[in-house]
Homo-oligomer: A and B are copies of this chain.
């Protein structure tokens, strides 16, 4: 990334990568002028079973964003590593130690502020990419409040609430799930996420602890406070043992390609020369 920034040698660019935290402010000025697009990642710090780390929900979209940055003029600002509260039926719920969540108003304010500041820095196109179902709508509202109070200037923001909506599950189902797609809500610490982590951050996966699990009961509604029977004991909500490096690599490539295509199409963002 950032190979074209006049203040960086190719060698330096290779070391620093697309992370905005590693850039200086004059580099930001130049990147904005060159049409670079920041991808603000929003995730969660949330239990992911005994085999995946707490950071999985922002580590994965961060890897995707970095993957996209290898193809397009894209930057990656410091991700929002805390997200909205975990629900029992899609993330195990708020009773797991290690899960550290925000109130909805905090998350919305955070997105509102950071998106406004990126727009102030001169970027004309922004992407916000989410990987935690419970964040849905709070993020969009943060962006919309920035629009309402003029914080976006004339920037345009693409909100990727759920990158996985990009795909036809009937196609993916054929090679990803042995027993059919169980629904994205229970795909928490299960086949897809475990496969992806095996592919991109294998050192963070406790291979010997991968095991299937499920809540005793998984209805179509939530109950507050959540009953025990809605909580999968291990924190794994479906069949993690179906995961494989190959599935992860295939799926990762699909997502990176699709996200990059969307950005290129909507914003005309250039590929690296």
Q: Please state if A96 and B25 are interface contacts (CB–CB under 8 Å).
A: yes
A158 interface hit (Cβ, 8 Å): yes
From B82, B136, B152, B235, give the contact of A136 (CB < 8 A): B136
Chain B residues with Cβ under 8 A from A225's Cβ? 147, 152, 156
Chain B residues with Cβ under 8 A from A16's Cβ? 203-204
CA distance A135 to B104 in the complex (A): 13
Q: Please state if A103 and B109 are interface contacts (CB–CB under 8 Å).
A: yes
CB within 8 Å for A161 and B221 given contacts A87-B140, A97-B32, A105-B109: yes
Q: Offer 5 A-B interface pairs, CB within 8 angstroms, sorted by A.
A: A23-B54, A103-B113, A152-B225, A157-B223, A165-B220
Q: Please state if A138 and B82 are interface contacts (CB–CB under 8 Å).
A: no
Chain B residues with Cβ under 8 A from A3's Cβ? none
B interface footprint on A113-148 (CB within 8 Å = 1, 0 otherwise): 110011011100000000000111110110111010
CB within 8 Å for A104 and B159 given contacts A20-B45, A45-B21, A262-B221: no
- Chain A interface size, as a band, is 35 or more
CB within 8 Å for A77 and B45 given contacts A222-B158, A224-B140: yes
CA distance A70 to B235 in the complex (A): 30
Q: Is the interface of A mostly helix, strand, loop or mixed?
A: mixed
Q: Please state if A97 and B110 are interface contacts (CB–CB under 8 Å).
A: no
Q: Please state if B136 and A78 are interface contacts (CB–CB under 8 Å).
A: no
A73 interface hit (Cβ, 8 Å): no
Instruction: Count this chain's copies in the assembly.
Output: 6
Q: Please state if B222 and A159 are interface contacts (CB–CB under 8 Å).
A: yes
A98 interface hit (Cβ, 8 Å): yes
CB within 8 Å for A166 and B109 given contacts A97-B29, A98-B28: no
Q: Please state if A203 and B15 are interface contacts (CB–CB under 8 Å).
A: yes
A99 interface hit (Cβ, 8 Å): yes
Task: Across the interface, name the chain B residue whose C-beta is closest to A104.
Answer: B141
Chain B residues with Cβ under 8 A from A96's Cβ? 25
CB within 8 Å for A159 and B118 given contacts A55-B22, A97-B25: no
From B99, B166, B223, B262, give the contact of A158 (CB < 8 A): B223
Residue of A24, A59, A159, A222 most packed against chain B (CB within 10 A) = A24
Q: Please state if A266 and B165 are interface contacts (CB–CB under 8 Å).
A: no
Q: Please state if B55 and A98 are interface contacts (CB–CB under 8 Å).
A: no
CA distance A162 to B7 in the complex (A): 33
Q: Please state if B98 and A20 are interface contacts (CB–CB under 8 Å).
A: yes
Chain B residues with Cβ under 8 A from A50's Cβ? 7, 24-26
